[in-house]
Amino acid sequence: MQQTERQISLKAAVIEAIAEEFRRDPETFYIGEDVGVAEGIFKQTQGLHAEFGDRRVIDTPISEAGMFGLTVGAAVAGMRPVVEIMFSDFLTLVMDQLVNHAAKIHYLSGGGFRVPLVLRTAIGVGGVLGSTHSQTLYAWPAHVPGLKLAAPSTPADAKGLMTAAIRDDNPVLYFEDRMTYNLKGPVPEGEHIVELGVADIKRKGSDVTLIAFSRMVHVALEAADALAAKGISAEVVDPRSIVPLDTETLIDSVARTGRAVVIDGGHESYGIGAEVAATVSEGAFDYLDAPVMRIGAPHNPVPCSKPLEAMMVPSADQVVAKVERMYG
Amino acid sequence: MSPEDCVDLYRTMVRIRVFEETVRRYHIAGKAPGLVHLCTGQEAVPAGFISVLRPDDYITIYHRGHGHCIAKGSSLEALLGELLHRRGGVNLGRAGEPHLCDPATNNIGSTGIVGGSVPLAAGAALAAQLRGTDQVSVSFFGDGVLNQGVMFEVLNMAAIWSLPVVFVCEDNRYGEFTESATVTAGERYQDRGAVFGIPSDTLDGMDVLAVREAAEQAVGRARRGEGPSFLVFETYRFTGHHVSDQQEYKDSEEMRAWEARDPIPNYARWLADEGHVDDVAIARIHAEIDDEVEAAAKVADSMPHPGPEDLGTHVFA
């Protein structure tokens, strides 16, 4: 059987997932700032307006709280919106509608109402966009019961997770690291679903487990190469969704390797890394040869300075150093 | 309106008032704990406005929302069950008063955040517009929302997209314990709608027929695809912000003046003048509704509380 693996960018894969779901389900629509004719600040909605028109790809005023709240209302009425919040930094503006409304309506209605929406947003550091356009704020909504969170690292996962997110009956926050938009990889044509809550082992290994999210998966893979050269076999596990978290796969991997480092692009303190580290420490305690370690961004705002900004992104060198310390 | 419809409006107002007094009784007895916000005195707005809506129209409400639930057709048993936090309540006893909603009546509900339900109403209106139905969505809120930023954002979007939504501000003169006039700029509250080019008006919220007439116009406009309206109904809560509020901040003369405008006896007089009812009929209506609410209360009070198995269900769909 001949298989030509089609390579497309992560950004194109997300758009493809949205377009395929929009063709399948007339109850879907896209809403956000500059998403229509302008096709998004990063061209991340390219082609959607041309194909689906004004009624299905809706440009809003710069009114995140009201616009997101409207989307929640439309979802409660049974539609399946994809709403774009341009940067995860702007989650601050939609917090009330997200935390007090979208997350709770299903529970508080006794199951009678559902909120099937996707909140698509950009995370990540790069391009010197500064402290309010560079944050990775997924730890905040992860704390709130009722919200699901996905964070793809590869084009194929990006397509599969977006498809699953649109079909999910819950509010799903979909985080794309904007520095991975042009990353290319093989992506299945046609329907491709990656269920939320299913981790993927991106590289098999036996000495240490590197658990990494989103863009950090590539940092982990780079570190695994460097570690291999030093005779250390690293397994790279990509949870792919933050909520639900595939604790079984994570714990199973750490139980096999006996060591783990969690790598997360958000701030290390009080972050996703801490949650994952605690989860695998509890679940694989009897198998651990070293404490589970974390690597994340330092506890300061992202500065508008190219050299300082670079220090906000965990590096493969840091990962290698952390692993080597475990062998102290 | 037929004589029967006229009398039905009266029944709805009386049902709301008797319900509220029952809730007060249960709250004082400790069976409806937490904060309880009654709409006694304000019955004309939910009764009059919702009387022109269809079952498939959407509403959103706010913390003073029992009357809207009743007018939209919620089961009194399930509603009271919810206020007593029982498993048979309309929301399984877990929402309680601040978060009441009723999926069966397209009542998206109250959310416990002042102004929080306003975008939800506009969102349901957007859904109706995108689907091409002629459903209308009505956002009921208090005067406290007039100074919440999200309301302005939503009014703007409702106007630019000509959404089939009606914004209904129930101005009872107090936001919690503070006189709204002292914290609200602008000559007239209705100007907050007018500035967006939305047809806006201020009406007597103690006159159920005036409410209904305004509702017919605004809902008709929305249903015909002619866009939103912003209506301010002047009304008054005869009770405190919540049941335990002693209302020391209110002027007693002001209270007496508004009590003279009580929508229920005034409308009873109108019904009698029109020849729709006599004293016997009025007494019979009150007796029937007393019995109806009492029977619902008995059922509600016999419902079990939620059990441990109910704590973690419906977190995710």
- Measured between CA atoms, the residue of chain B closest to residue A94 is B150
Please tell me which residue, A51 or B244, carries the higher pLDDT value: A51
* Mean pLDDT of chain B, nearest integer: 97
pLDDT at B217 over 80: yes
| Å between A99 CA and nearest CA of chain B | 11
Residue ranges of domains in chain A: 7-186, 200-326
Nearest CB to B124 within list A63, A67, A76: A76
Out of A49, A101, A106, A133, the active site residue is: A133
**Chain B nearest C-alpha distance from A103 (Å):** 8
> Which candidate, A177, A242, A185, places its Cα nearest to that of A44?
A177
Catalytic: A195?
A: no
Residue A248 CB neighbour total at 10 angstroms: 12
Residue A93, chain B, CB below 8 Å: the answer is: no
CATH class of the domain defined by A7-186? alpha beta
pTM of the model: 0.96
The two three-digit tokens of residue A263, written as one number: 């790598």
| B3-299, CATH topology level | Rossmann fold (3.40.50)
Kindly state the tokens that stand for B260. Answer: 């003279």
CB of A72 within 8 Å of a chain B CB? The answer is: yes
**Any catalytic annotation for residue A133?**
yes
In this predicted structure, the answer to whether residue B172 has a pLDDT above a threshold of 50 is: yes
The answer to whether the CB of A288 falls within 8 A of the CB of A281 is yes
Cβ contact, residue pair A109, B109, below 8 Å: yes
Q: Are A9 and A183 in contact (CB under 8 A)?
A: yes
How far apart CA B65 and CA B45 sit, in angstroms, is 11
Residue contact B150–A66, C-beta within 8 A: yes
* Gap between the Cα atoms of B229 and B223, Å rounded: 11
Rounded to a whole number of angstroms, the distance from the CA of B260 to the nearest CA of chain A is 38
Select which of A20, A33, A64, A176 is catalytic. Answer: A64
Residues of B in contact with A243 (CB under 8 A): none
* Mean pLDDT computed over A211-215: 98
Answer whether residue A328 shows pLDDT above 80: no
Please give the backbone phi and psi of residue B164, each rounded to the nearest 5 degrees, phi first. -80, 70
Q: Do B154 and A66 touch (CB under 8 A)?
A: yes
Q: Is the pLDDT of residue A2 over 70?
A: no
Same fold, A7-186 and A200-326: yes
Cβ of B131 within 8 Å of Cβ of A61? The answer is no
Nearest to B91 among A56, A68, A110 (CB): A110
Q: Do B130 and A79 touch (CB under 8 A)?
A: yes
A307 interface with B at CB cutoff 8 Å: no
Contact: A67, B101; criterion CB under 8 Å: no
Average the pLDDT over A249-258 and give the result. 98
Task: Say if the Cβ atoms of B156 and A66 lie within 8 Å.
Answer: yes
CA distance B44 to B261: 11
How many CB atoms lie under 10 A from the CB of residue B285?
18
CA-based nearest residue to A58, from B7, B58, B160: B160
Q: How far away is chain A from the Cα of B161, in angstroms, using its nearest Cα?
A: 10
Q: Output the CA angle B17-B18-B22, nearest 5 degrees.
A: 115
Of B104, B122, B127, nearest to A78 by CB-CB distance is: B127
Query: Which residue, chain included where needed, has tokens 């905040």?
Result: A140
* Residue B138 to chain A, least CA–CA distance (Å): 12
Interface of A with B in 15-54 (CB under 8 A): 27, 29
Alpha carbon distance, N-terminus to C-terminus of chain A: 49
Q: Please tell me if residue A80 touches chain B, with a CB cutoff of 8 Å.
A: no
Chain B neighbors of A148, CB-CB under 8 A: 316
Q: What is the distance between the alpha carbons of residues B8 and B276, in angstroms, rounded to a whole number?
A: 11
Mutate to test the interface with B, among A52, A54, A70 (most CBs of B within 10 A): A70
For all residues of chain A together, what is the average pLDDT? 97
The fold of A200-326 is: Rossmann fold (3.40.50)
How many residue pairs from chains A and B have C-beta atoms closer than 8 A?
144
CB-CB: which of A66, A100, A145 is closest to B315? A145
Domain ranges of chain B: 3-299
Cβ contact B18:B96 at 8 Å: no
Q: Which two tokens stand for residue B73?
A: 């057709």
pLDDT at A4: 62
**Measured distance CA(A44)–CA(B269) in Å, rounded:** 64
Say which residues have a Cβ less than 8 Å from residue A75's Cβ, sequence separation at least 6: A81, A102, A114, A115, A116, A117, A171, B123
Burial degree of B287 (CB within 10 A; 0-12, 13-18, 19+): exposed
Tokens of A295: 């690597």
* Cβ <8 Å between A72 and B113: no
Q: How far apart are CA B313 and CA A115, in angstroms?
A: 15
Average pLDDT of the segment spanning A146-164: 98
The pLDDT of residue A5 is 83
User: Cβ contact (<8 Å) for B95 and A70?
Assistant: no
How far apart are the CA of A81 and the nearest CA of chain B, in angstroms?
10
The verdict on A188 touching B (C-beta cutoff 8 Å) is: no
Query: Chain A residues with CB inside 8 Å of B315's CB?
Result: 106-107, 145-146
CB contact under 8 A, A73 and B94: no
pLDDT at B35 over 90: no
Q: State residue B91's pLDDT score.
A: 97
ipTM exceeding 0.90? yes
Residue B236: pLDDT band (50, 70, 90) is very high
Which pLDDT value is given to residue A1?
47
Considering only CB atoms, A77 lies closest to which of B58, B149, B160, namely B58
Residue A3 has pLDDT above 70, yes or no: no
Write out pLDDT tens, residues B93-148: 999 988 999 999 999 999 999 999 999 999 999 999 999 999 999 999 999 999 99
